Amino acid sequence: MLYMEISTWEPEKRDLILEHLKELKMPPGIKVHNQWVDLTGGRYFILYECEDAEAFAAFNLPWSDVCYIETVPVMKSTEFISLMSRKS
């Protein structure tokens, strides 16, 4: 399943976030599609695939002390339209 995550942090946590990003290693079971940083500061976006709860936790738990993470399951709009068309 695809997930879009938006991580936000307080300005005073910036240096901790930079250290985390430098050391970021994806656990097995996480396939990153792309990542973006908000140029105005304080937000990081990542689109990735994950089918395993253990990998999901291994990826997110190390960040829980420095930022807030909003996770949204997503799919391409063309796939969604196709899926909903079959259900009609």
Q: Read off the tokens for 82.
A: 């196709």
Tens of pLDDT, residue by residue, the chain (88 residues): 999 999 999 999 999 988 888 888 889 999 999 999 999 989 999 999 999 999 999 999 988 889 999 999 999 999 999 989 987 6
Looking at the DSSP assignment, which residues form a beta bridge with residue 43? 8
**pLDDT the model gives residue 43:** 94
For the chain, give me the number of helices (H) and strands (E)? 3, 4
The dihedral sign for the CA sequence 49, 53, 57, 60: positive
CB-based contact 28:53 (threshold 8 Å) = no
CATH number of the CATH domain containing 51: 3.30.70.100
CB-based contact 8:71 (threshold 8 Å) = no
**pLDDT the model gives residue 6:** 97
**Residue 58 sits in which domain range?**
2-87
Q: How many domains does the chain divide into? A: 1
Q: Cα(31)–Cα(1) distance, rounded to whole angstroms?
A: 10
Phi/psi for 43 (5° steps) reads: -145, 150
